[in-house]
Amino acid sequence: MSSALRFEWVRLRTLRSTYWLIGIGLLLTTAIAFGVAFATRNDLITAEDAGIIVTGGAELAPFLAIFLAIIGIFATGHEYRHGTIQPTLTAIPQRTRLLLAKVLMVAITAAVITVVSVAINIGLGSLYWQNAPDLGAEPLSEVIPGYVVFVVLYAILGVALGQLFRGVPSALVILLVVPLIVETLIAALSLWSALDWLQPALKFLPFSAGARLIATGPYDANGGPEFDFLGRWESGGVFAAFVAIILAVGWYLFKKRDA
Amino acid sequence: MITAQGLYKRYGAKTAVDHLTFEVRPGMVTGFLGPNGAGKSTTMRLMLDLDNGGGETLFDGRKFGTIAHPMREIGAVLESKAFHPTRTARNHLRMLAAGSGIPFHRVDEVLEFVGLTEVKNKKPKNFSLGMAQRLGLAQALLGDPQTLILDEPANGLDPSGIHWLRTVLKSLADQGRTIFVSSHLLPEMALMADQLVVIGRGTMIYNGDVDGFVRDFTQSTVLVRSPQAAQLAELLRRVDGVTVDDVPVDARAVVTVEGADAPVATPAPSPALRVSGIETAAIGELAFQNNILLHELATQTASLETAFITATGASEEYVAHDVPGVADAAPQPATPQAGPPAAPPVPPSQPGDTTPGGAA
């Protein structure tokens, strides 16, 4: 296992896209954190604003999660796109071990980068905060670890999608289209009374449920469908289960199919 | 020593590899030959557990998947450009070295050995096929393995590169390593291999040494020219096991004589016969005893190429059509134009003289 992890470590750090994606991700989240912190410098800081600053606006647009998911997609998708799966498997023929090493290495990277990003954002915020929000009290005490779990799950989902589709483009499409279009569409359809039976299922839409991990307040229908999500960690569990299913199917097919 | 037993692979209704059983012995180069689409790559993928299929391949008695660090024991290259286009050659090999517990300094050694030191920090997306093949060989040699499995390694190399590859593979074999190398080109294999495994449409056509392949798939013939060819043919046909064919008169025997105003036919060459199943000496004796004048008496041995075409002709997967009108020009066994003579015999190295050690 340690060889497989070392392999993955060298693979990850010898790819220029790793640095680009992390760099742009950190730049965007830092820019958002700075912008919001600067704009609210004279206001009494609310938990919502503090949440947006700390997570670099993840509740609005989860940039870091998306970019680390792309790093995850590259971990498996590149192997097929560039035919390196053949030399990789002649070095590490144990496929379960190889996929596990990819998941672990990408997950560790995602966790470390998220922690770094949060630290940068808190540092930026503290430059402007008149009276610092209590990071040890709810909701921030839950949003910060929730954010790390959220980004890690996205990154693992990337690895799983890249493995499932054995390539980069289809995995990217799923990653971007499902949360943005499919889930929004299902939620919108449930507003019609003929389709209101969809509403109890809405809390199980994986990406919407996953977003509860970084929510600073309770779900506000705001004209949308009226329903209640599960709690923060239960909703995170729904998203984690979705990621686990995709990973399990990808793993099963990886074991079964020709490389 | 590689032992492949009953390798089998089917894609839908099409059988790609049909129960192949063979051995690849140490201390020599074993060529794996077959026309395009014969199933060579699929066979190699089955051997390396990359594809699922029937049969079993043992490397010194162990299955590939049970070897802890296979790169240190089996160096395999199946695709010529299996690297990320922007990861440098050096980093590509470092990545594989990290996955196999091979120290990084070995990466620079193998890159030096294959002659890629100058471009080791360059992105391989601009590598020529020849450079990619060299990187592939470096990858195969990375773990200093006892066994090499190479799919078409000479593809894309220039003549000096092919010469170099041949020398490298031969010297690695002389160190007692097991070398299994595929090709669809005969002349290449003739100069490189000691043993051959020849397949067509996934089935075994021949497994043995190079000379035996030529013997099995070519019949030496004797070309006889005589003014009394018809009479000689009569006599020869009475001998058991002898076949006699008339050689059509070559229309191109008309040549222009310098100084002459018009093309002048040279004295027509005497009619020729192609005889098989009898030695030249016996033909000469027969002619002498019957007072038949001979103008030419020559043994013709088919080249390895001819043998290959004979052996695999019926099994080619993708058959191209001849240009209309020149269909007759298709190579016939044992024509005088049939190319270089068969492979020079290669003394098989002794399996005992294994010298474990660095490949470089």
To which residue do tokens 């360059």 refer? B122
Q: How far is B205 from chain A (nearest CA, A)?
A: 26
Q: With 70 as the cut, is the pLDDT of residue A69 above it?
A: yes
Q: Residue A44's pLDDT band (boundaries 50, 70, 90)?
A: confident
For residue B179, what pLDDT is reported?
A: 96
**Tokens for A203?**
């809390």
For residue B332, what pLDDT is reported?
A: 44
Q: What is the mean pLDDT of each run of 10 residues along chain B (360 residues)?
A: 93 90 94 88 94 93 91 92 93 96 95 93 91 94 95 89 92 95 83 89 87 73 87 87 76 46 61 83 89 87 66 65 55 42 42 39
Contacting residues of A for B71, CB less than 8 Å apart: 90-91
**Tokens for A257?**
């199919």
Closest Cβ–Cβ partner in B76, B84, B101 for A78 = B84
Mean pLDDT of A125-146: 85
Residue B223, beta-bridge partner list? B274, B298
- CA-nearest residue of chain B to A15? B87
For residue B157, what pLDDT is reported?
A: 87
CATH architecture of the region B2-217: 3-Layer(aba) Sandwich (3.40)
For residue B299, what pLDDT is reported?
A: 81
Residues in chain A: 259
Cα–Cα dist B313/B310, whole Å = 5
Cα–Cα dist B9/B42, whole Å = 8
Q: Which alpha helices (DSSP H) does chain B contain, by range? A: 40-47, 89-100, 105-114, 129-141, 159-174, 186-192, 210-217, 229-237, 280-289, 304-312
Task: Give the CA count within 13 Å in the CB-facing half-sphere of B304.
Answer: 27
Q: Residue A220's pLDDT band (boundaries 50, 70, 90)?
A: confident
Cα–Cα dist A160/A153, whole Å = 10
Q: With 50 as the cut, is the pLDDT of residue A214 above it?
A: yes
Written out in words, the top-level CATH class of the domain with range B219-247+269-300 is alpha beta
Contact B91 A82 (CB under 8 A): no
Closest Cβ–Cβ partner in A14, A78, A91 for B100 = A91
Contact A3 B83 (CB under 8 A): no
SS3 content of chain A, % helix, strand, coil (to 5): 75, 0, 25
Domain assignments of chain B as residue spans, ordered by start? 2-217, 219-247+269-300
For residue B107, what pLDDT is reported?
A: 96
For residue B145, what pLDDT is reported?
A: 95
pLDDT digits (tens, 9 = 90+) for A146-203: 999 999 999 999 999 999 999 999 999 999 998 889 988 888 888 888 888 888 888 8
Determine the straight-line distance between the first and last CA of chain A, rounded to whole angstroms. 20
Report how many Cβ contacts below 8 Å link chain A to chain B: 84
To which residue do tokens 């998708």 refer? A77
For residue B239, what pLDDT is reported?
A: 84
Closest Cβ–Cβ partner in A9, A82, A90 for B70 = A90
For residue B330, what pLDDT is reported?
A: 42
Structure pTM? 0.80
